[in-house]
Structure 1
Amino acid sequence: MADSTPLLSDSESDKPPEPKRPPRSLDETIERCIGGFGWLQIFQAILVSLAWVFDAQQTFISVFTDAEPSWHCADESVCSSFSNICQLPKGSWSWDWPAHTSIISEWGHQCSTSFITGLPASSFFMGCLVGGLVLATLADSTLGRKNMLLFSCLTMSLSSIFTVFSPNIWIYSALRFMNGFGRATVGTCALVLSTELVGKRWRGQVGVIGFFCFTLGFLSLPVMAYVNRSSSWRTLYLWISVPTILYCILVHFLIPESPRWLFVKGRKEEAVTTLKGLAQTASALTMSFSNVLIEQESLDDNVDIYSSIRILLNKRWAAHRLTAVMVTGFGIGMVYYGMPLGLGNLSVNLYLGVTLNALSELPASLITFFLIGKINRKDSILGFTILSGVCSVLCVVMGRVWPSLQIAMELISFFSACTAFNMTLIYTLELFPTCVRNSALSMVRQALVFGGVFSPLLVAAGRKNNLISFGVFGMAIGICGLPLIGLPETKGGVICDTMDEEEHRQTEKGSAAIPTLA
């Protein structure tokens, strides 16, 4: 007779199945494999972040190469009563420096329209926009972080070298467009790659290294320009382009691909090899990496070249986040790129003004570095955007009432915009999962650059009335920071790797920032 005892008791059969344990996140895997922040990671983070040096130099070089040089009267009897050289006969005036120090004096565009003289700078920013749209998702889809960084740096440096041989302003503008096209993703790739090589504890600090490097690049420009003040503007381009090629060689041989991206794309063996190379302790080296392969499920969302953008837009919560940070980025970019360009409208020496602006980025980076683990991202961005807006408007007021304080207001406004810039990039890194992180960050950088496109136009229009330039800057950055109010705070949060993981985490937290995860 068969045993009538059931295989499972009623009490056991009535028990609900235990929920499946979610797979170990990449943060846990990386922490388990590489432990703390070792010397190898420090070296690689700094080397990757050096790309920001060349990014800054390419961004602000036009402040010197495209500037209109000072001039003096050669015939006092003719030009003593004139302040516009376009109203003077040829030969009655001359440049203070050799004509080849600027494109304006070399090609005789001192009397050209503002469209012609501003075309190279506008072309650069337009190149950044197009490059960001074309290249933004390649780092998430096919090329990866490292290869995208190499491609961008090489394109930027080679176009800069070709710029040296420009025969006229039209070819020069076309090459500046190509330069901006290549430069578009340098900062984002460097930031994402450096932060994805470490665990969450050091994520913010490693990201700030790039900001320090950008400050170093910005600060090096007035030094190089002053040393070469009597040399051709072409020499300055050589000074910033040749080191970039040498940098690309170092990155190719010394920097690994992001293990997070490799895991997401299903290339687990390569990811484990990278983690072995980054392992800092003997226990990490002897751990069973094969177990990690088994435990870590494939995270590839089958992302093709542009599907990451579609994923961001199809998810309501992701589209909401992306729109909010892009609007904020637009206002920050208008001030960040516009303030240095507008220094010529203030009563301050150009070399001194650019140097002070570059130096103001240093405390901005220091504040971000030391306080990134202690302060809320969203509240900080809101505070600094409002402070920047108020000081930008006060820059106009002080210029009329107390001119000596005008440069002080300008520096505070630029400093606040720099800090908000840094915090926005780190905040964006933490808002989006690995599968779309580089694309989201690239879109935010696009918004920053788009704000920069309008800056030269406002600066040109504000030469007679600073309210048109600095006044608009202040209102733009102050208002554009407000959309962040509806977003979640990311301080101390875990970096997610897929959209589903992010939705699951927000559902568990019951985040009020995401009413529906459609």
Structure 2
Amino acid sequence: MADSTPLLPPYTHSETQHPIRAKKEASPSFDDAIEHYVGSTSLSQLFQAFFASLAWVFDAQQTFINVFTDAEPNWHCIRTDDLSCSSAGIPCSLPKGSWAWDLPKHTSIVSEWNLECSGSALAGLPASAYFIGCLIGGLLLATLADSLLGRKKMLFYSCLTMSLAGTLTVISPNIWVYSALRFICGFGRATVVTCALVLSTEIVSKKWRDGVSIIGFVCFGLGFLSLPAMAYVNRGSSWRTLYLWTSVPSFCYSILLYFLVQESPRWLLVRGRREEAIHILKNIAASNGNVITSSFSTLVTPEDVGNVGIFTAMKILWEKRWAFRRLMAIMTVAFGVGMVYYGMPLNVGNLTSNIYLSVTYNALAELPSSLITFFCIENLNRKSSSLILTTLSGMCSILCVFMKIEGLKMAVEVVSFFSACTALNVALVYSIELFPTCVRNSAISMVRQALVLGGVFAPILVVEGRKKSFLSFGVFGLVIGCCGLFAACLPETRGRSICDTMEEEEYKEISTSENPSVV
């Protein structure tokens, strides 16, 4: 195909009116170039996008594994005629020898390390340590996928660290070593979802972008759903066994990922590595029966090549007012969603229903939420969807405080979690569209950080909720409801093509402000 074929329609405004627009005219969009030269998405691209999305499975398992390994087991009185024992609400107030655990002590860290009488801070430490690790890891590693390492290598190292830390967890002698390893696991895992999401969406055409995003959400739901199944099969075994079942497959996946998935050609081009990008694009085009003769030389700008510092992306987001406003608003929404999203599954232990069934119901809610997400992003505005979903989740969470019928309470809890899951999925898709390629991974990582920050507080609130329901369900509902309102501050992005540089996004911002119908 000839390089002279026009990629973009001419603009009606003069270059003197808008310098940013003038540069946009001189520098064709990479999004349009891919569509023009490469053609439709091939099976090879879809396979790589799917395989990258499988990282969500292992991320879900490590995120929610504490629901089973750190759960407080059921206990019983040794003597059935002991009235002082049978009337006691917690076993730590009883003398030793008057009660016993229903299952062997090694089935949970609570029973193995005698944590039943510990305070909420110590009992929730391992789960909180995991989320703190995610928080710190995200802050330190977020920009590496945009600068030095790229999407593929960052995803590989993240999955590898997560799997190795999970495997080493089986030798933990006490809660302190266990919490430290959970911290390392969280630290390594911090960029798994963001890299998998960005990589999978950047290696396919615009037509498949939304669908590929949904694949990741479905994989996360399947990973979450696999946990209660594995925990039930190993219900009499040590909690350490569950870590082996989840970590060893994750390690094998990491190795396969390195050899089967290519780097994002978008990232390579933005980093100035044009020859590598063209090589990948030619391979993609060849799988579609096309031949690329273009050098794509006009797609590289000096501003793109110069942004090579690790924290440059974060600096750009800080300095650009429109980008900073977007980032703060979507991060606030994510914080509220994260508190419910991570808190609700941990909180099912405070319900009297069977923990395996309760977690299964929550995990099953992930799968239809992916389908609803697809409906939302195809048919509804991002802003409206976010507002409706966060409000619904908050209302249902608060209703759980007043519900007395356990079955109805469980149903309302699942609706709250379902709404939070869908809100999270919409927020991630929203984030992809709000920020250009050069800072997209860093921006989404910051959104994930806000999400995880909500998760840091969730385990402590869950432990406190064992004494008073409002401290868990009530607080969850108020936070997600209030934080969700910040979605109203964001611009609508439905139907827009994604940008590659800050100038291109800034041009679109100017065009939209002048003519709202332009997307």
TM-score, normalised to structure 2's length? 0.92
Aligned counterpart for 2:485 among listed residues 460, 470, 482: 482
Q: Distance in 2 between matches of 1:441 and 1:328?
A: 13
1:161-218: CA deviations, max 9, x gaps?
1111101111000000001001111000000000000122221111111000000000
Question: In 2 relative to 1, CA 321–294 (structure 1 residues): closer, same or farther, beyond 3 Å?
Answer: closer
Question: In 2 relative to 1, CA 123–295 (structure 1 residues): closer, same or farther, beyond 3 Å?
Answer: closer
1:45-124 matches, cutoff 5 A: 45-78=49-82, 79-124=85-130
* 1:175 counterpart = 2:181: yes
Shift of 1:37: 2.5
* 1:187 counterpart = 2:193: yes
Question: In 2 relative to 1, CA 282–193 (structure 1 residues): closer, same or farther, beyond 3 Å?
Answer: closer
Given that residues 59 and 189 in structure 2 are in contact (C-alpha distance below 8 angstroms), is that contact kept between their aligned partners in structure 1? yes
Provide the residue aligned with 2:378 in structure 1: 373
* 1:26 counterpart = 2:30: yes
Provide the residue aligned with 1:436 in structure 2: 439
The residue type equivalent to 2:414 in the other structure is L
Q: Name which of structure 1's ranges 196-205 and 17-26 shifts more when overlaid on structure 2.
A: 17-26
Q: Distance in 1 between matches of 2:454 and 2:245?
A: 28
Aligned counterpart for 2:466 among listed residues 438, 443, 463: 463
* 1:300 counterpart = 2:305: yes
1:224-235 matches, cutoff 5 A: 224-235=230-241
Question: In 2 relative to 1, CA 201–17 (structure 1 residues): closer, same or farther, beyond 3 Å?
Answer: closer
Q: Distance in 1 between matches of 2:350 and 2:178?
A: 25
The residue type equivalent to 1:495 in the other structure is I
Q: Distance in 2 between matches of 1:294 and 1:487?
A: 32
Q: Distance in 2 between matches of 1:493 and 1:17?
A: 23
Shift of 1:404: 3.4
Q: Distance in 1 between matches of 2:65 and 2:201?
A: 28
TM-score, normalised to structure 1's length? 0.92
Provide the residue aligned with 2:497 in structure 1: 494
Shift of 1:372: 2.1
Q: Distance in 2 between matches of 1:509 and 1:77?
A: 75
1:201-280 matches, cutoff 5 A: 201-279=207-285
Q: Distance in 2 between matches of 1:463 and 1:262?
A: 50
The residue type equivalent to 1:95 in the other structure is W
The residue type equivalent to 1:326 in the other structure is M
1:109-141: CA deviations, max 9, x gaps?
222222221111111111011001010110001
Q: Distance in 2 between matches of 1:431 and 1:87?
A: 54
Question: In 2 relative to 1, CA 502–317 (structure 1 residues): closer, same or farther, beyond 3 Å?
Answer: same
Shift of 1:511: 5.9
Question: In 2 relative to 1, CA 86–493 (structure 1 residues): closer, same or farther, beyond 3 Å?
Answer: same
The residue type equivalent to 1:506 in the other structure is E
* 1:335 counterpart = 2:360: no
1:360-399 matches, cutoff 5 A: 360-399=365-404
Q: Distance in 2 between matches of 1:489 and 1:231?
A: 50
Q: Distance in 1 between matches of 2:464 and 2:309?
A: 43
Provide the aligned length of Structure 1 versus Structure 2: 494
The residue type equivalent to 1:164 in the other structure is V
Given that residues 42 and 287 in structure 2 are in contact (C-alpha distance below 8 angstroms), is that contact kept between their aligned partners in structure 1? no
Given that residues 24 and 296 in structure 1 are in contact (C-alpha distance below 8 angstroms), is that contact kept between their aligned partners in structure 2? no
Q: Name which of structure 1's ranges 469-478 and 255-264 shifts more when overlaid on structure 2.
A: 469-478
Instruction: For structure 1, list consecutive stretches of 5 or more residues without a partner in the other structure.
Output: 1-15, 514-518
**Percent of aligned pairs sharing the same letter:** 61
Q: Distance in 2 between matches of 1:34 and 1:217?
A: 33
Shift of 1:303: 3.3
Question: In 2 relative to 1, CA 106–23 (structure 1 residues): closer, same or farther, beyond 3 Å?
Answer: same
SS at match of 1:136: helix
**Larger Rg over CA atoms:** 1
Q: Distance in 2 between matches of 1:81 and 1:483?
A: 47
Question: In 2 relative to 1, CA 105–39 (structure 1 residues): closer, same or farther, beyond 3 Å?
Answer: same
Given that residues 264 and 301 in structure 1 are in contact (C-alpha distance below 8 angstroms), is that contact kept between their aligned partners in structure 2? no
Given that residues 38 and 292 in structure 2 are in contact (C-alpha distance below 8 angstroms), is that contact kept between their aligned partners in structure 1? no
* 1:419 counterpart = 2:422: yes
Q: Distance in 1 between matches of 2:100 and 2:321?
A: 61
| Root-mean-square deviation (Å) | 1.8
Question: In 2 relative to 1, CA 477–83 (structure 1 residues): closer, same or farther, beyond 3 Å?
Answer: closer
